[in-house]
Structure 1
Amino acid sequence: MKHTNWKKMAAWVIVAITFAASNSLAGDKERRVVFPKGKNTVVYKGNLPRQIAERDSYIITLKKGQRLTVKLSTADASASFKIFELDKLGPDEDMIFNGSATEREFSGSVPVASRYSIQVYGPNEDGDAATGAPYSIEITRN
């Protein structure tokens, strides 16, 4: 019996290591947005992803009609962010904001009560060099 438990534990360790390695290789980071008690604004800091397909995602749950404001600050000229609804809208309707390097601020009311993903990108499709520059993202809900 003890031998079987050891095998199960070893199998779980291998699964956990494989999962962790695949996530770190993909370069994607996901973080749940948590507001300090009594506050409606939070700021997160990170380094921009270095690959086109990589992103840092910030997941926030909002009520229908709730106002969301997002501001991305970085010195990297090619950085951008997008906002997607995750649970209710179809694939052709789920993009809430399609930011660009020149549009680094969004403010608007969300269409449905749901989870939303604020996705920060580094290099763009134009082949700009990835810098991995530091960034901060300010997220406000009202």
Structure 2
Amino acid sequence: MRVVVSEADYDLGAEAARLEAGQAGAVVTFTGRVRDVEGGLRHMEIEHYPGMTERALTDMADQAVKRWDLTGATIVHRHGTLAPGARIMMVATAARHRAAAFAAAEFLMDYLKSRAPFWKKEVTSEGAEWVEAATRDEDALTRW
């Protein structure tokens, strides 16, 4: 299991290759990027509390590994100032079978979106605004 919280970008291929080196029959990856939905986004600022964030992400990954009997799991999440189109995060899961790898990846993405201790601020030409939690993200947790 690997959890990384960093300002630096990451190498998606290298992260996936770490999991492919194991005994998995399936490796699933997901990459989240900064979206400029309405146009005009200058950048996004992502803040977190070091130590607390890594513990929370590690707990999430541990739950996924145990629940789906994963052979590996990776969570990478960036913080700092990110431009539109930049990678924010990735989840990668490895399992003996694809169904477990896909389910575990979705579980981790849903929990990252709603429970990970990150705070996001969108900065536009109009000013800055903290991003509120979306109801749909909270609702997604009910399936787990």
Q: Under TM normalisation by the shorter chain, which class is it? A: under 0.3
Q: TM-score, normalised by structure 1?
A: 0.28
When Rg is computed on C-alpha atoms for both structures, the one with the higher figure is 1
Greater strand fraction, Structure 1 or Structure 2: 1
Q: TM-score, normalised by structure 2?
A: 0.28
Greater helix fraction, Structure 1 or Structure 2: 2
